[in-house]
């Protein structure tokens, strides 16, 4: 289990619609990106690979999984990029403030 919350759990390894290994792999890639940006939405104490998730039939709640949605990662990356010195977004904000 990814989190410690109660409720219904989803197991990609048991899904007929998804390739469990691919789902776990994408999830772990997203977790790694959040970790790299030092912005994990929740504390994650594991460093593991997709094969181990598949073998152990790792499960998660839909709401917990959504915290790591690629759209949230993209939004975070854009926000962090706009805060970097010299970025065009920062320059545009400064130019607007000077008007």
Report domain extents, the chain. 12-98
Provide the CA 35 distance to its chain's centre, in angstroms: 9
- Non-local (6+) Cβ contacts of 7 within 8 A are 61, 63
Which has the higher per-residue pLDDT, 91 or 10? 10
Cα 88 from Cα 81, distance rounded (Å) = 9
pTM reported for the whole predicted model = 0.73
Task: Encode pLDDT of 11-51 as tens digits.
Answer: 988 888 778 899 999 999 999 999 999 999 888 877 788 99
Kind and range of the H or E run holding 6: none
Cα 23 from Cα 3, distance rounded (Å) = 17
């Amino acid at each position: 289990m990814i989190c410690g919350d109660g409720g219904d759990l989803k197991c990609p390894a048991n899904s007929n619609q998804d390739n469990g290994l691919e789902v776990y792999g994408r999830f772990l890639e997203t977790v790694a990106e959040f970790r790299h940006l030092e912005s994990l939405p929740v504390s994650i104490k594991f460093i593991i690979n997709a094969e181990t998730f598949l073998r152990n039939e790792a499960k998660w709640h839909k709401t917990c999984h959504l915290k790591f949605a690629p759209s949230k990662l993209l939004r975070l990356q854009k926000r962090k990029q706009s805060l970097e010195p010299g970025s065009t977004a920062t320059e545009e904000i400064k130019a607007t403030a000077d008007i």
